[in-house]
Amino acid sequence: MGRLVFALALLFLATGCPESLSASCPTSSSTAGNFTLNLVLQPSSPQCKVILGLDGGPADGDVAATPTAQTATLCSGPDPGDAGPIVYLAVQNRAARQSPLAPDGNFTFTTTSTNVGGTVCGCPVDITETITGFLVPATPGSFQLAPDGGLTPSVGTISGTLVDVLARNAPDSGCLCNDPCNLTYTLTGTRQ
């Protein structure tokens, strides 16, 4: 069976203008930069595959392809609870994701989408997406909030991993894919 495109990573990435993406960040935050994000599919276990054909016969098809480069805006600001640094990742047509930011640039964004239809699996699925990684400073130093809520030093690049975990929404929903399964991508972000 030929390579099939599976739209999981599209939950994360969609085209957009940097100017409009910064509007997705909270008003209490400052833009930390616009980035071009690239994802590269990595082998994972159990990797999502189509295991049944529409006729009920066996199949062995990939469900993922590497998405095209996309634009994202990174914003930062103080956590309303403890004033520690928070980073927000804004991409088109999605709510801004938020994560505490460690001084070494470590972050984790986690989102869940339930009852997602229209996939090659032929059944509604729940998708948990986790993006982990590091912001790499443009100049040496630990990240901290500047007086305006921005980050200092400035962010040079983003390096990380995106993992989509897929599970069918209903036990007997006639899924054509193995589940639970995952798709794992390396993520790189270069400043625009």
* Rounded (5°) CA angle 16-22-28: 160
Cβ–Cβ < 8 Å for 111, 132: no
Q: What is the pTM of this model?
A: 0.82
Question: Is the peptide bond preceding residue 180 cis, with omega within 30 degrees of 0?
Answer: yes
pLDDT at 22: 63
Helix (H/G/I), strand (E/B), else coil: 109 = strand
**What is the Cα–Cα distance from 126 to 113, expressed in whole angstroms?**
6
| pLDDT level of residue 109 (50, 70, 90 thresholds) | very high
* Closest by CA position to 74, among listed 118, 50, 105: 105
* Rounded (5°) CA angle 132-155-30: 95
Q: Once rounded to an integer, what is the mean pLDDT over residues 175-186?
A: 90
